[in-house]
Structure 1
């Protein structure tokens, strides 16, 4: 769960801080923004796994920003849960019609919030209740901290394990070095971008022993992508 990031967009300081605390206690990473403008800057740097979005925000409202995101192919698949004091059925329908994945009326319990988040992440394929992520014959076991191909266990470091966990839960998407640093190492840690290249090379070397080095691909000018579909045509 530690590799999953949630963007919290809430203009009230006390509520925003409470949401961040609840999420971190539940094992998520969180990034906070006070309005849609700041939230968009976050998206420009790193793509979260889910957005908790307040309906009423200063400037561009939360519901309007959500509408824009759902129209953009880059963000269309990004899960959004709307948070609002509006409890009328008409407002709920409006929120869901623009593409929001769920809707919570304030006040709500932290336990219910976490349960709703997990449900949305489960539906979007970002978490696996079995604690195993399987892509083809590649299996990542988050409980036993093992990565294997078939019956062969791969010798990877904790960082490379987290890198593969992130890749396997975000297949076919391109991430630049900064995004990978934020998602795998965390924003609070200062590490040079070339560190990503070092771990990618080592990961490919390990995968190459099983003829699977093409699972982790370089997208020239952009970054890296994990793709089982493309690799299937070149692996033996």
Structure 2
């Protein structure tokens, strides 16, 4: 199921162009004409990310985001402000309200797409953090029994893992076969949506694999992950 993005902007042309671009990219988009309408849609659809203008009738972007942030369930929800207000004070106010990124109008849709992918990847990593175990999973001591864990992330035989580790070198992390497939496609510049389509997995599952790769390689973003993969010969 595609990730959902809420787009709030009172300008119809801007709202339509963003919606069309994101839907072509593979996201599900919920449009809103103002902050008041957008606030109700957040509660109803629980989007993965918000893109919002600041100057809107009925409820502006500042107030909209402030109210979103009062909901415990949405305190980590990524928010991008789009606006013609480019002064330092306006930017400071935006960050104080809880936005994660600030794009000045006019902007390039490709840049917006890159910012969205970066924030979604970071959010997936943060969301997974509480469930991480500080201790490594124990390896089976005999036979080809399988490692216990998440069926998508860790379901790989002991013998296959040992072969992968031996081929990667002593300083390389141990990756599952699925993680290596995701990493190879990620280095080609594919989004989570496209990687999921290629591997016949949901975007949410791809997010989990990417988060696991961040954790295992101690990377903070895709650029660092790709650089690590190239330096340690983790990709073909």
2 CA distance for matches of 1:113 and 1:9? 14
Larger radius of gyration: 2
The aligned counterpart of 1:12 is: 11
User: Compared with structure 1, are the counterparts of its residues 70 and 23 closer, same or farther at alpha carbon in structure 2 (3 Å cutoff)?
Assistant: same
Shift of 1:54: 0.6
2 CA distance for matches of 1:120 and 1:14? 25
2 CA distance for matches of 1:119 and 1:32? 21
User: Compared with structure 1, are the counterparts of its residues 56 and 167 closer, same or farther at alpha carbon in structure 2 (3 Å cutoff)?
Assistant: same
Structure 1 residue 149 corresponds to structure 2 residue 133: no
Paired residue secondary structure (1:125): helix
Where do 5+ consecutive residues of structure 1 fail to align? Answer: 128-133, 141-146, 170-236
Paired residue secondary structure (1:7): strand
> More deviation in 38-47 or 76-85?
38-47
The aligned counterpart of 1:58 is: 57
Say which structure, 1 or 2, has more relative contact order (CA 8 Å, 6+ apart): 2
Greater percentage in helix: 2
TM-score, normalised with respect to structure 1: 0.56
Paired residue secondary structure (1:48): coil
**Residue in structure 2 matching 1:165, options 191, 194, 205:** 205
The aligned counterpart of 1:107 is: 106
Shift of 1:71: 2.4
Greater percentage in strand: 1
Paired residue secondary structure (1:3): coil
Shift of 1:109: 0.6
Where do 5+ consecutive residues of structure 2 fail to align? Answer: 127-131, 138-148, 159-176, 178-196, 210-236
- The answer to whether the Cα contact below 8 Å between 2:39 and 2:64 also exists between their aligned partners in 1 is no
1 CA distance for matches of 2:77 and 2:100? 9
1 CA distance for matches of 2:102 and 2:204? 32
Shift of 1:126: 6.5
1 CA distance for matches of 2:81 and 2:63? 11
- The answer to whether the Cα contact below 8 Å between 2:2 and 2:26 also exists between their aligned partners in 1 is no
Q: Within 5 A, what are the aligned runs for 1:168-207?
A: none
CA RMSD of aligned residues (A): 3.2
Structure 1 residue 81 corresponds to structure 2 residue 93: no
Aligned residues: 151
1 CA distance for matches of 2:204 and 2:114? 26
Shift of 1:117: 0.9
